Amino acid sequence: MKPIYAVLILVVGIVLIRCDKGVKKDYKVIDTQELTKNQPEVHGTEVKEGELQLTNPLKEEYLATGKSIYDLKCSACHRLTEEKLVGPGWKGVTKRRTPLWIMNMITNVEMMLEKDEEAQKLLEQCLVRMPNQNVSREEARSIIEYMRKNDGEQ
């Protein structure tokens, strides 16, 4: 076989494998138990009015942290579009919820599911409880910045 064919086969092979991975990822079945298996349960305390300050323009330093936490801990269940995966898509979330509500949802989901009607409605729609992700307040704050950016804020 001419060397050029060998190279072609290799290239086509690599492309096929990569596409295959891409497709599989989309249809991955998410085992929520598995995701949180080794995490100790940490319960946050309620974030209250006045403990959360938002600024314009957005804080650049929060954006990168927010994105990396999203990639690591949230993207398995939340898209950045309106599309629902396991949980609701994040597009528009900062318009339909207050920052304080989002903050408590992230750091204190048990309390929200117990007390907050909107959170309970979401649970009915999604049929899955969002697991506690052990996200600190500081981390949650950076995720909010990332969500605001995703909703078009500058």
Q: Contact between 148 and ligand HEC (CB under 6 A)?
A: no
| Out of 44, 47, 78, 104, the residue judged to bind ligand HEC by CB under 6 A | 78
Q: Nearest approach, Cβ of 62 to ligand HEC (angstroms)?
A: 13
Nearest alpha-carbon partner for 103 in 150, 56, 144: 144
CA distance 108 to 12: 48
Residue nearer to ligand HEC on the CB measure, 47 or 106:
106
Tell me the two tokens of residue 148. 């605001």
Helix, coil or strand: residue 116: coil
Min. distance of Cβ 48 from ligand HEC in angstroms?
Answer: 18
Residue 111 in contact with ligand HEC, rule: CB under 6 A: no
In the complex, minimum distance from the CB of residue 141 to ligand HEC, in angstroms, rounded to a whole number: 11
| Nearest residue to 37 (alpha-carbon basis) of 129, 150, 135, 131 | 131
Closest-CA residue to 94 (of 45, 146, 132, 53): 146
DSSP string computed for 6-63: HHHHHHHHHHHHHHHHHHHHHTPPP-HHHHHTTPPP-PPPPP-TTS----SS--HHHH
94 binds ligand HEC (CB under 6 A): no
Which listed residue (130, 141, 142, 145) binds ligand HEC by CB under 6 A? 130
Integer Cα distance of 66 and 94 in angstroms: 14
Stretch that binds ligand HEC, among 4-12, 18-26, 54-62, 80-88 (CB under 6 A): 80-88
7-15, 45-53, 57-65, 87-95 -> range binding ligand HEC (CB under 6 A): 87-95
Question: Which residues of this protein are in contact with ligand HEC, per CB under 6 A?
Answer: 32, 35, 69, 73-74, 76-78, 86-88, 93, 97, 102, 105-106, 113, 119, 122-123, 126, 128-131, 133, 135, 143
